[in-house]
Chains A and B, each alone.
Chain A
């Protein structure tokens, strides 16, 4: 097994209180996580959860209060200023507000990291035109930043982050200032960066849709802590923490709330059960055939099915009517095919 590219152990970050004597504000509170080479790892959380602070600890834009941050085998928390600058040349960063230099053209913005890295003029020229082609902005090389749309600015931001051929890309809410269509384009570009260039991406977001589209693994943060983490599919399929459930609920609305359920019961007689569909192994047709074989009538009263990272999952709520014993026998057989629960 390869070593993780980024490994955080017991990371704590505190900011001093607003006034002297105020308690310190603990933005990151004992986080452990590791990002494997080649993956897209997402950190999701509401504003103030500490995710933006956390990502800044990885390239040491902020120093940690305690804990260990290892990037590509190097402990960054003890690096001197010069070592930090070298480290940062190997880590690209993309920002929500793009943070491009308005006083320079697109070309000038891309030249900056290259001259920081000490590349020759000829080399800069070659690399910049390569980058502009990669992000599809070859015709905008000499445009001023102010003339670009939000999506174009973020493409420049991504090109700039890739300029020095980093192994790791940090994306801090890279799509949060963009409209839905542009968001999709930028996410596709990030996925391409990961797939075609093999660059590991650690991205911060508050949108579950971003996670669903491109993240392989995800960590959910609340109040400075990681409350749940795992492969994206697993988190979508079986969210355990309430915050994770809320995030999943923003993308897939497959579970009725109490009011909806009451309304459904008023309209549909019978016994309510919920089928949890997880992955490819569920053969819905067999489930329904089993119900029919036992003379159980059913109605699909609520539910949803989603596709995440090539896996199907979702919840279906059924109202079953017929002979009570027959329903029991049918459900016993169905239990072998799919996980079902009684809806209280």
Chain B
């Protein structure tokens, strides 16, 4: 690769940086998938909480809804570059360290939880209230309605919503460098941007784009399979 770039008269250290590149790619993969899985589950729980406690919901409970709503509204708009730093003390308690990939992953999971909760809530709202009423009329319990009707009925849009959220998660992994979390974003910044090495930078970008595209494609296929309508 370096040979080719040198042949075109481009000065790049990408060849020498290959171990760092693959390590960074691994970190991004780890942070993003952990955030998608954990943040996805927690976001689902929080989103269900928002949806179910709202007025007219199966577990309608105004105080609970107000608290959840305020918490989500408070944390969601915080720019991640600040959020990751602000969450350091909590990261020390939860993952044992305030820096590195674990600390960054922790912050991404928390941020993803809040972000995904809104996506989940919005998708659940699209489920026909009539279908829920029908399930109630059949004598189904609230938990059966939640997991046997509500979530399956919203699954198609939920998969698309999660795919959408994944792009935002990848975006957040690029900021992990703030707490020395590593990842491709940080790699691109350190060895590409600061060293004026465009090849390194673009190699990182292409890797990220490829990563997102694969996930997007997978999400679309899965959603189509789930929808089958």
* Chain B residues closer than 8 Å to A102, beta-carbon distance: 131, 153, 229
* Chain B residues closer than 8 Å to A104, beta-carbon distance: 152
On whether the beta carbons of A112 and B139 are closer than 8 Å, the reply is no
On whether the beta carbons of A85 and B153 are closer than 8 Å, the reply is no
Within 8 A of A (CB), among B104-124: none
**A79 nearest CB across to chain B (Å):** 12
Q: Is A221 an interface residue (CB 8 A)?
A: no
Interface size on A, as a range, is 20 to 34
Contact of A101 among B137, B149, B228 (CB under 8 A): B149
Q: Is B224 an interface residue (CB 8 A)?
A: no
On whether the beta carbons of A88 and B137 are closer than 8 Å, the reply is yes
Q: Is B82 an interface residue (CB 8 A)?
A: no
On whether the beta carbons of B138 and A112 are closer than 8 Å, the reply is yes
Within 8 A of A (CB), among B133-182: 133-141, 144, 148-149, 152-153, 155-156
On whether the beta carbons of B128 and A88 are closer than 8 Å, the reply is no
Q: Is A113 an interface residue (CB 8 A)?
A: yes
On whether the beta carbons of A89 and B149 are closer than 8 Å, the reply is no
Q: Is B130 an interface residue (CB 8 A)?
A: yes
On whether the beta carbons of B139 and A100 are closer than 8 Å, the reply is no
On whether the beta carbons of A144 and B128 are closer than 8 Å, the reply is no
* Chain A residues closer than 8 Å to B141, beta-carbon distance: 85, 116
On whether the beta carbons of B137 and A61 are closer than 8 Å, the reply is yes
On whether the beta carbons of A88 and B152 are closer than 8 Å, the reply is no
* Chain A residues closer than 8 Å to B137, beta-carbon distance: 59, 61, 88, 91, 93, 170
The closest CB in chain B to the CB of A105 belongs to: B228
* Chain B residues closer than 8 Å to A97, beta-carbon distance: 128, 130
Q: Is A272 an interface residue (CB 8 A)?
A: no
CA distance A92 to B127 in the complex (A): 22
* Chain A residues closer than 8 Å to B131, beta-carbon distance: 99-102
CA distance A101 to B144 in the complex (A): 14
Main secondary structure of the interface of B (DSSP, over half): helix
Number of interface residues of B (CB under 8 A): 22
* Chain B residues closer than 8 Å to A100, beta-carbon distance: 131, 134
Within 8 A of B (CB), among A58-97: 59, 61, 84-89, 91, 93, 95, 97
CA distance A305 to B137 in the complex (A): 41
On whether the beta carbons of A89 and B153 are closer than 8 Å, the reply is no
Contact of A93 among B134, B140, B149, B226 (CB under 8 A): B134
On whether the beta carbons of B138 and A99 are closer than 8 Å, the reply is no
CA distance A104 to B148 in the complex (A): 11
Q: Is A117 an interface residue (CB 8 A)?
A: yes
On whether the beta carbons of A146 and B128 are closer than 8 Å, the reply is no
* Chain A residues closer than 8 Å to B135, beta-carbon distance: 112
- One digit per residue, 1 when the CB lies within 8 angstroms of any chain B CB and 0 when it does not, for chain A 205-234 equals 000000000000000000000000000000
Q: Is A120 an interface residue (CB 8 A)?
A: no
Q: Is A103 an interface residue (CB 8 A)?
A: yes
**A52 nearest CB across to chain B (Å):** 11
Q: List 27 A-B contacts (CB under 8 A).
A: A59-B137, A84-B139, A85-B139, A85-B140, A85-B141, A88-B137, A88-B138, A88-B139, A89-B138, A89-B139, A97-B130, A99-B128, A99-B134, A100-B134, A101-B153, A112-B138, A112-B140, A112-B149, A113-B138, A113-B139, A116-B144, A117-B139, A144-B228, A144-B229, A146-B229, A164-B138, A170-B137
Closest 7 CB pairs of A and B: A88-B139, A99-B134, A99-B130, A93-B137, A85-B139, A146-B229, A89-B139
